[in-house]
Structure 1
């Protein structure tokens, strides 16, 4: 793990974007193309604002979507398809973009995603960490053994609580019960993983991730087993680490 602690979320997002730029430039120089996975949510605002401004050969990049709610219209403010179209695809003209559509048959959507993502390795995965330490929608206790690249999961109450606190939904009852998500095993197959996790609301999850052993009750701990995991924090999310150390 490479731990990077910056003063503010804006700086953490900028430095993470620069690190991703270096990875993608090297990958494109080596292979002629690159495959990425993007996460969403409030913690990614600052990162994406810098990432889309990079002078990249976006047409040589193929993007996969990390997770999406089932049966949530794209018009809803919480739709991750809507989020990525507005915050990323409107600025980055990628060669291909595989967005998750949770409005149709979810099993069919999973099948199509699985067929596409296994065609080549993912070079860079942007993986956020939730307040309950989930990665993608792999809530605790996370399934570390699922071999399917994408799967359907039930959302936990703690996950729903976060979505409400961040303002995406009016109440827990309004949050969809299920989502399509990339699995833990598929995330770990990425050549490089970058996690941008600012803000005080994530501090407890970060501390539990850093100080504990690998535990499916704290799903993000599995990222510590990856040979190229870069974690970007601001002082608010990193504050408990200083006290623990």
Structure 2
């Protein structure tokens, strides 16, 4: 069993958790730019990431040296659809980025899957992620392969993941939520030099407990973070409610 463990920080509020996570992400970007002249960053797109991204965007960084990517994208939504993950990030990431390479499944998701996998061949400096109500990371649903040989995969969305989108206010009804997506797989996410994971809200409490105190098992994809000592997990008190005192 690995001795590598993440750092877990619990804040009094979602805003405070997001602020701490954003400051940690900024520090990781500064370190990457200092070491290699650029920072390759993969971002999650979700309401839980709002405070983290807002904090990060306010930091004085050389944004022209940041190469941004995102974790997943629905198949079947137009790129400018309000619920497109790429559009959500484009509306929130700071101006002046060196690049933002969006996943654009369009009418040929397989070609886009291959293209995006090629773009992720180089090492990633920072991943800013969350944890889903079913323990997913990106759209790697329960049962996903910890050792997936593909860097990007097309998946069918779990029912709980689709319902989460409704509960988060992203879609009005379950029937509006797409059923398929392209997602960056688990290996490139957890291979990043630094992971900043922001999880807030009471609906995430059971998933957080499973991820951090349960077995490291594909039934809870986020449990792989137990073996990542370069991971910081930022929780508000409600998301941490089921953790041992």
- Tell me which interval the TM-score lies in, with the shorter structure as reference length: over 0.9
Unaligned segments of structure 2, at least 5 residues: 1-5
Q: Is contact 1:148–1:186 with CA below 8 Å preserved after alignment?
A: no
Matches within 5 A, 1:10-21: 10-21=15-26
| Shift of residue 77, structure 1, vs aligned partner | 2.4
1:97 and 2:83 aligned? no
Residue 92 of structure 1: how far off its partner (Å) = 3.3
Cα distance, 1:227 vs. partner?
A: 2.9
C-alpha contact (below 8 Å) 2:132/2:161 kept by paired residues: yes
* 138, 141, 148: which one aligns with 2:140: 138
Tell me whether 63-72 or 143-152 shows the greater mean CA deviation. 143-152
Structure 1 position 102, deviation (Å): 2.3
Match of 1:232 in 2: 234
Rounded Cα–Cα distance in structure 1 between residues aligned with 2:39 and 2:167: 35
Aligned to 1:199: 201
**SS of the counterpart of 1:126?**
strand
User: Could you tell me how far apart the structure 1 residues matched to 2:107 and 2:96 are?
Assistant: 26
- Checking the alignment, whether the CA contact within 8 Å between 2:212 and 2:225 is kept in structure 1 is no
Aligned to 1:212: 214
Q: Distance in 1 between matches of 2:10 and 2:142?
A: 26
**Secondary structure, counterpart of 2:188 in structure 1:** helix
SS in 1 for 2:29: helix
Counterpart-to-counterpart distance in 2, 1:26 and 1:48: 18
**What's the CA shift string for 1:149-193, capped at 9, x where partnerless?**
111001011111101111222222221111000001111211111
**Is residue 4–residue 232 contact of structure 1 (8 Å, CA) maintained in 2?**
yes
Shift of 1:74: 2.7
Which aligned runs of 4 or more in structure 1 are off by greater than 6 angstroms? none
Distance (Å, rounded) in 2 between the aligned partners of 1:188 and 1:33 = 19
1:54, 1:92 → 2: CA distance?
12
Alignment size in residue pairs: 240
Question: 1:67 corresponds to which residue?
Answer: 72
Structure 2 length-normalised TM: 0.95
Gaps of 5+ in 1: none
* 2:43 is equivalent to residue 41 of structure 1: no
Q: CA RMSD in A?
A: 1.1
The reply to whether residue 177 of structure 1 matches residue 179 of structure 2 is: yes
